[in-house]
């Protein structure tokens, strides 16, 4: 009788341990971060076209190592493309992840003209066998002075609760590096 009770307690502890590991390490939770940068002397359409051209991501994102366009289709009203890319972590450069993303590049019509310009994307990121989903929306609008472009980005990403501070730090570090390069590049030059 006592042996059964011990086995029962042990199985309860094992089950609870497995559930805790699952909850903190494997269960995914969604987080959202918003970023904004003002780009001087660039029209929204120019910034939108530059950022939407994925080949420029190699110049803007120092963590990106390689990419391949899988397909592209559409026209000015809706341009869609899929890309696979490999990158390393900004804070832990020896860790790599493989990504597949779909980008939808659209201008919105307001008051008879196109604005804001949008890039919506869905990213499927895999680290070894563990995959996470990230969704991003980027808009480009003229600043109040009409001499600048305000770029706003909203990123919703999945991360295990225990690793959420690491995920947030990685996202913010990567975005900081990218925005520094965006502000330094001359988007008015022909690409």
pLDDT in tens, 53-78: 999 999 999 999 999 999 999 987 88
Q: What is the pLDDT of residues 102-135, one digit of tens each?
A: 999 998 776 666 678 999 999 999 988 889 999 9
H-state helical runs in the chain:
2-21, 44-52, 57-60, 164-184
Does 112 fall in a domain? yes
Task: Assign 3-state DSSP to the chain and report helix, strand, coil percentages, each to 5.
Answer: 35, 45, 20
Q: Which residues of 14-49 are buried (b: 16+ CB within 10 A; e: fewer)?
A: eeeeeeeeeeeeeeeeeeeeebebebeebbbebbbb
Domain containing 115 equals: 28-184
Find the CATH number of the domain harbouring 52: 3.30.530.20
Q: Is residue 39 situated within a structural domain?
A: yes
Number of domains in the chain: 1
Which DSSP symbol is given to 11?
H
40 located within any domain = yes
């Amino acid at each position: 009788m006592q042996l059964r009770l011990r086995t029962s307690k042990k199985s309860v502890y094992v089950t609870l341990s497995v559930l805790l590991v699952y909850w903190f390490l494997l269960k995914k939770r969604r987080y959202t971060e918003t970023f904004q940068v003002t780009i001087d002397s660039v029209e929204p359409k120019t910034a939108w076209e530059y950022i939407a051209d994925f080949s420029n991501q190699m110049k803007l994102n120092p963590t990106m190592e390689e990419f391949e366009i899988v397909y592209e289709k559409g026209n000015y009203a809706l341009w869609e493309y899929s890309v696979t890319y490999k990158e390393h972590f900004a804070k832990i450069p020896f860790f790599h992840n493989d990504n597949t993303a779909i980008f939808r590049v659209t201008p919105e019509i307001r008051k008879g003209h196109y604005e804001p310009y949008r890039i919506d994307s869905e990213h499927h990121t895999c680290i070894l066998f563990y995959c996470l989903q990230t969704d991003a929306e980027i808009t480009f609008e003229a600043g109040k002075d009409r001499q600048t472009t305000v770029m706003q980005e909203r990123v919703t990403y999945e991360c295990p609760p225990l690793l959420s501070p690491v995920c947030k730090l990685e996202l913010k570090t990567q975005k900081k590096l990218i925005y520094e390069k965006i502000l330094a590049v001359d988007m008015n030059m022909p690409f």
